[in-house]
Structure 1
Amino acid sequence: MPPAPPPPVPEKEPIYDINQLPLDPGERQSIANYPVNDQDAVRRAYIIKGPYQPDAHDFDNDSRKIGGKDRKFNPLWFYKYPWIEYSVKKEAAFCFVCYLFGKGRSKTSAFVDGGWNNWNRTDALDIHVGGVTSAHNAAQERYNLFMTPHGAIDDKIVKVDSEERRLYKMRLTYSLRCLRFLLQQGLAFRGHDESEESSNRGNFIELLKWLAANNEEVDKYVLKNAPYNCTLTSPDIQKEIIQCCAMETRDQIIKEIGDDHFTILADESSDVSHKEQLALCVRYIDKSGRPCERYLGIVHVDDTTSSSLKEAIQSLLVNNGLTMTQIRGQGYDGASNMKGKIKGLKTLIMKESPSAYYVHCFAHQLQLVLVAVAKDNDDCVWFFDRVSLLLNIVGSSCKRHRMIRDHQYDNVMKALQCGILESGSGLNQKMGLSRPGETRWGSHYKTVVNLIAMYPTIRDVLIALGLDTSARGDWPKIHTMVGVLESFDFIFNAHLMLDILGHTNELSECLQRKDQDILNAMSLVHLAKSKIQQMRSDGWVSFLQRVTIFCNKYGIQVPEMEHNYVPYGRSARFAPDQTNNDHFRREVYIGVIDKISQELDSRFDEVNMELLTCMAALNPADSFASFDANKIHRLAEFYPNEFSSSDLLRLDLQLETFIDDMRKDELFKGINNLVDLSVKLVETKRDKVYHWVYLLIKLVLLLPVATASVERIFSAMTFIKNKLRNKMGDSLLDHCLMTFIERDIFLKLSEEEIINTFMAIKRRRPDKKKK
C-alpha cells in the first residue's frame, strides 16, 4: 500500500489583522504611536492594503473641468500616479509612499500633512514626484526595498541558490578553523611565496591543504576545486576573519563589564620594529564576584608624555563602548610620566574620574627594594659584580655552555649512583645561569639559586678553563673568578641573598596573581617584613652554621670570627678596622636586613594611606575581627559618585545586619580574604540583600595590586611580532594579541557567531563556478 499522505500543515496565524487596522483614507494613525515590535507589522499591513483608490463611479459624473481646469479630484490620476491615496471624508489626496517612508521635507509636504486639494494645479503632482534625487523618489525606493528585500541588483544579475550558499559557508568555515588554530598558537599565517609552484605556501594554506588531503569533503570544495575567485584564502579575507575573531572576543569582555566600574592597568614598551606601544588591561568584577584582569587593546603612541598616553587610553575606551567615568582605579609602574602629582597620567585621569585612585605596582616596588639594597651595600655591589663577571666568562661561547651541561650531568649521575639524590618525574632537571635584570621580577633569585645548586659544576668548569691553553686570553679573569668562588666572602653573600630573595620571591609571586586583592597583598607585605625581622633577631646562628657546612663540604676556609677582617680581592685600605664578626654579622647580615626593612616601609607607603586603613575594616579574617563601622562609613565617603548622603545612611543601617549575619552563618566561617567573601556573597544571593556593602567590596577589589598582566602582554607581543613578522600592522597585531592572550574566551566562541560577524562587515555573495 502506498504510504499515507502527510497531514496538511496548518497555516500560521498572521501576526496582525489588516481589517482591524485603522486604514481610513487620509486619517491613518501614525505608525510611531504603535509599540516598537508592532510597527513593522502595521507598516506591512498598510502596504499590503495599498493606497485607497475608489472606483470611477464613486465620483460625480458632472463635468471635470471648467475653462480647462479641474474642479474636483480626477480618478484618472490613479493610473498615472499609483501612489495617490484619496480621502472621501477630507476630499483630499495623499502620497502613500511618502507617508510610510518619507524623511525630511517629504514629511512636511501637503501630500502627507493635511492633504492636497488644489485640483486646478495639476502640475503639483509632477512637482511632488520631482527628479531622481527627490524625497518622493527616495521614499519610493525604500518602499520597493521593503517589499522586495532580495531585489538588489547583484541578486538580480546572479541567481544564488541555497546550495551555492551552503558551499560558500562551508569554505568559509574551513578557512576559519585553520585561522583559529593559528591564532590560538600565535603562529604566522602568510608565507614568503604563496604561489602554487611553491613548496611552502605559508602556515594557513599549508594547513588547509593538509586538511583537504585528510578529508574528501574538504578537498572537494576548497583551493583548486573552489569556484573562481571564491577560495576565501586571500590575505584580505584572512585579515577580515581575524578581525571578526578579535571583535567577538573583545565583545565578550565588554559585555561582562557592562555599565559596571573597572580599573585600568597600563604600561608602554617598544616592539621589535621599534614602535612605541601602549598596552591596556582592565580589571573588573565578574558575575561570580571574582576580580578578573583582561587584555583590552594595544595602541601605537608617537610619544610617552602623559597627555598623549591619556588620549590613547581614552580613545581605546571610547572605541570599545567604555567611558572614563567608569574608572575606579589605576595601576602603573613608577615612571614620572605615570605617577606625577601635577601632570602625571594618574592626575589627568583623576580630573575626569576623582575616585580613580592610583596604586603603584607592588611587584615593581618590591624589585626596586632589592635593587636599592644591592646598590647601597658595598658587599652586595661586589657580589653581584662578581656574578656578572662569572656570567660573562661562562656565557661567552656555546662550548662553555656545553661544558656546564656535561659536568652537571656527570655530577647528577654520580649523586644518583651514590644515593645522594633520588630519581623521579620532574627531579634533577637541567639548569643554567641566566643573567638577572632590574625589570625581570624574580630573576636575581633564580640566578642565585642556580649558582649555589651548580656550585661544584661551575667551579670544575672554571678550573678546566684555567688549564685550557685555547682560553689563555681569558686566564686572568678565569683565575680571578676561581679565587672568588673559593672565598668565604662570596659564599656568605650568596647564601644571604638566597635567604632574603627567597622570602621576597614568595611575596613577588603572590603579588602577580590576577585575582589578588589589595588587602591580602598588604598582609603578605607585612608577613615578608616579619620573616625578615625574624632573620635579624633569631636567624644568625643557624645561618652561619649553614654557610660553614657548605664551605667545609667544598674545602673553603672559614675565618675565625674573632680575628680581624681582611676583604678578599679588595684593598684593606678602604676597609674599617673590625673583626670578622663585626663585618659579617653587624655590617653585612644585619645591615642588609635593616636596609630591606627600611626600603619596604618607605616604598610601600600605601600602608599609611587613609583609604587602605579604612579598607582593612572589611577584612573577613578571624570572623571579621577588624570590622569597624566608622571606618567603613569613611571608606564609602571616598566614592561620592556611588554613595550620596542618603545612601550613607542606608549603608550604616545595613552594616549592623550584615555583620550579625556574617558572624552567625556557618557558610562564612573560615573566609580569610575579600575575594572569597565576594564569591560567597554572590553564591548565597547576599549581594542583592546587602547591596551597599557588596558595592564597597567590589570597589576595594577593583584596586590593582601589580601590573603583571601588562607585562605578560609585552611577552606575548614579542612572541607574536617577532623578527620574521616585524612588518605586522598595528591593527593586525592588536587582533592577534586579543585572540592569543584571551584564548580561554576565544575558544568558547561558536563558529556561527564569527561567521555572522564576518558576513555583516560588508555585503558578500558566492561567485559562480569557473567555466
Structure 2
Amino acid sequence: MVTFFFLMCLAILTPGLFGTSVERFLGIVHVLNTAAATLKAAMESKLAEHSLSLSRIRGQGYDGASNMRGEFNGLKSLILKTNSSAYYVHCFAHQLQLTLVAVANSHIDVAHLFTLTDKIQNTVGASCKRKDMLRERQAAEIAKALNNGEKETGKGQNQEMGLSRAGATRWGSHYGTVNNVIGLFTPILDVLEMIEEEAVDSNQKGEAKILLDGLPSFDCVFVLHLMQDVLGLTNVLSQALQKKDQNIVNAIGLVKVTKSQLQRMREDGWDPLLQKVSLFCNKHNIPVPNMEATFVTRGRPRRRSEEMTNLHRYRVQIFYTILDMQLKELNDRFDEISSELLLCVACLNPRDAFEAFNKDMLIKMASFYPREFENIDMATLGYQLDTYIMDVRLDERFHDIRDLNELSKMLVRTKKNLTFPYVYLLLKLALLLPVATASVERAFSAMKLIKSKLRNRMGDVWMNDCLVTYIERDIFNEIPNELIMQNYQKMKTRRELL
C-alpha cells in the first residue's frame, strides 16, 4: 500500500506583529492519491477545520510537479478557477535547482563530471573502512598544510569534510559535491590507489582504475573549478531564496544580480579561472596543456578535432558554452518574474528613495484583487498614493528602508498604515506572494524526526499533533508547564494533582 501525505503551510500578515509576514504550519493530511482534485479536496477540508476558505487565498506556491502547476488540471489551476485572486508563483528556489540540473544534464563535460562524482561516492564511500581511510588521509593532509603554512588554525576552520552525492531534489547539493571533491582531491586519490592495489573484488579494482584515469586530468579539474565558480554564484541566490523573511521584490532583484554576475564572469572570468586551475594542477602534478597547441581528443591521439586549439576547446566549447547555457536557463525558468502582477509589485520597492514607484502600475495591481478593492474608487486610491509617496520620501525614517518587510514594519511603527490603509493593503498582498517552498520542505523533513523507527505505527492524528508542536515550537515554548498540567488536570478526575 502506498501512502501519500499533503503538507499545508499558511502565511499571514498581521499588524499586531508590527507588519511582519508570518508563516504557520497548519497540518499534514493523509490522501489516497496525489491527483490535483484529491489535493484540492484535502486542502478545502483542512482549511475548513480552521474556519478558513479558499476564497481568502491570495497566493499559492508549489514545486514544478505537473499535478501542482499544470495549466489545465493542476492544483493551482483548480484553485484559480475557484478564486481568481489566488495567484501562483513557482518556487524560485526550485526553479534555480532545475536550472542547475538542466545544465548538468545537457552539457557532456558537466554530465561526465557528476558521473565521476557519483562513482567516487559509490567506490570510496562504499564501506566504513574506506570512509575511515578517507578521514585519515584528510587529517594527514591538513596537518601537512598547517606545517607548511598553507593553512591557518582557528575556530571553525579545517573542519572534517565528507563525500556527498549531487541530487536533483536537494537544493545546493551540486555545489556541496563540487566543493568536497576539490577539498578532498588528494585524499580521494590516495584511497583510490589503495583500493586499486588491495581490493579483493576485481570489479572494484577496475572502478578505482577508471576513476584514477579520469579524475586527475586537466579536463576534469577545469570543469570542476568552473562549476565551483558557477555554482558558487548561484548558491548565494539559492540560500537567500530559502530565508523566511524573503519577499518577491528581493527575489526578483537577486535573480537579476545573479544573471549580471554570470555575465560578468563570462566577460572577465576566463583568465582568473585558468590561473586557478593551473595552480591546482601544478600542486597535484597534473599536466597543463599549451593553450596554443592543437587539441587532441584524449585516448584518440590520431583524431585532431579539425585542428582546434586547446584555447578554443576550453574557452569556447566549455567555458562560454556552460555560462551561456546557465544564463539561457535562468532566463527561461524565471520568465514569470516579467509577469504584469510582479512588475506591479516591484513598484512598491523602497530602495533608492522609492525610485521604482509608479502610481499607474499600483492602481493596476489593485485591479488584480477585486474583492479587496471592490468598494474603493480608484481615483481615491490614486490620491492616497500621491500623498503617500510624498510623505515617505520626506520622512527620514524611511530613507534607509531596503525591502518590503522593513517598509511594512516601519509603516506600522509610524502608524502610517492607518493613514494610508489602501497602500498598506497593497503591501500586505505583495508580502503574501510566496517566494520559495523551503520552509514547507523543512516541515516535511521533520516527519523523519517525529515518525522514527520506534514510532513507526503512530496514527495520522498523533503524528499531525506532534508535527505541529515540533515545527511551531517557538510558540509552544512560551506556554508554561503549569498551564499545561492544569489543562490535563481538568480533562478528567485524577487520583492526585499533577
Distance 2:494 2:203 in 1: 71
Structure 1 segments, 4+ long, off by >4 Å, are 569-577, 755-760
Alignment partner of 1:641: what SS? helix
Residue 469 of structure 2: aligned partner: 739
Q: How does 1:143-162 map to 2 (within 5 A)?
A: none
Deviation at 1:486, TM superposition (A): 1.6
Superposition map of 1:448-527 within 5 A: 448-468=178-198, 470=200, 472-527=202-257
Counterpart residue type for residue 652 of structure 1 = G
- The aligned counterpart of 1:711 is 441
C-alpha separation in 1, matches of 2:87 and 2:223: 40
Q: CA separation of 1:572/1:527 partners in 2, compared to 1, >3 Å: closer, same or farther?
A: farther
* Residue of structure 2 in register with 1:325 after alignment: 55
Name the structure 1 match of 2:5.
Answer: 277
Matching of residue 604 in structure 1 with residue 334 in structure 2: yes
Question: Is the CA contact 1:283–1:294 (under 8 Å) kept in the aligned structure 2?
Answer: yes
Structure-2 residue corresponding to 1:351: 81
Alignment partner, residue 724 of structure 1 = 454
Amino acid at match of 2:352: D
Shift of 1:677: 0.4
2:396 to 666, 686, 693: 666
Q: Distance in 2 between matches of 1:583 and 1:432?
A: 32
Output the CA distance in 1 between the equivalents of 2:274 and 2:313. Answer: 13
Q: Is the 8 A contact 2:248 2:430 kept in 1?
A: yes
Offset of residue 588 of structure 1 = 0.7
Are residue 690 (structure 1) and residue 420 (structure 2) matched? yes
List runs of 5+ in structure 2 lacking aligned partners: none
Matched residue count:
495
Task: Give, as a single letter, the amino acid of the residue that structure 2 aligns with 1:344.
Answer: G
What letter matches 2:216 in structure 1? E
SS in 2 for 1:618: coil
Give 1:353 shift: 1.8
Tell me the distance in 1 between the aligned counterparts of 2:301 and 2:411: 65
State the partner residue of 1:587: 317
Residue 510 and residue 572 in structure 1: after superposition, are their counterparts in 2 closer, same or farther (change >3 A)? farther
Using the alignment, how far apart are the partners of 1:638 and 1:547 within structure 2? Answer: 52
Asked if the contact 1:532/1:593 (under 8 Å) is kept, the reply is: yes
Rounded Cα–Cα distance in structure 1 between residues aligned with 2:404 and 2:30? 36
**AA in 1 matched with 2:493:** R
Conservation of the 8 A alpha-carbon contact between 2:385 and 2:423: yes
Q: Aligned equivalents of 1:574 and 1:641: distance in 2? A: 68
Distance 2:254 2:213 in 1: 40
Whether 2:101 is the aligned partner of 1:368: answer: no
Rg larger in 1 or in 2? Answer: 1
Which amino acid counterpart does residue 303 of structure 1 have in structure 2? Answer: N
**In 2, Cα distance between the equivalents of 1:511 and 1:484?**
35
State how 1:641-652 maps to structure 2 within 5 Å: 641-644=371-374, 646-652=376-382
Distance 1:576 1:481, change over 3 A: farther
Counterpart pick for 2:168 among 429, 438, 442: 438
- RMSD between aligned residues: 1.9
Counterpart amino acid of residue 508 in structure 1:
S
Q: What CA deviation, in whole Å up to 9, does each residue of 1:582-624 have, x standing for no partner?
A: 1111111100101111111111111220111111111100000
Q: Does the 8 Å contact 1:465/1:471 carry over to 2?
A: no
Q: Secondary structure at the match of 1:360?
A: coil
Judged with a 3 Å threshold, the aligned counterparts in structure 2 of structure 1 residues 336 and 574 are, in CA distance, closer, same or farther, namely farther
Q: Percent identity?
A: 47
- Which has the larger helix fraction? 2
Aligned to 1:295, the other structure's residue is in SS state strand
CA contact (8 A) 1:489 1:568 kept: no
For each residue in 1:22-56, what CA deviation from the matched residue of structure 2 results, as whole angstroms up to 9, or x when unmatched? xxxxxxxxxxxxxxxxxxxxxxxxxxxxxxxxxxx
Given candidates 139, 142, 147, the residue that maps to 1:409 is: 139
Determine the structure 2 residue equivalent to 1:565: 295
Question: What amino acid sits opposite 1:485 in the alignment?
Answer: L
**Counterpart secondary structure, 1:346:** helix
Matches within 5 A, 1:253-272: none
Cα displacement string for residues 192-212 of structure 1 (whole angstroms, at most 9, x for unaligned residues): xxxxxxxxxxxxxxxxxxxxx
1:529-568 equivalences under 5 Å are 529-568=259-298
Runs of at least 5 residues in structure 1 that lack an aligned partner in the other structure: 1-272
Taking structure 2 as the reference length, what is the TM-score of the superposition?
0.96
- Matching residue's letter, 1:596: Q
CA distance in 1, matches of 2:155, 2:93: 32
Aligned to 1:295: 25
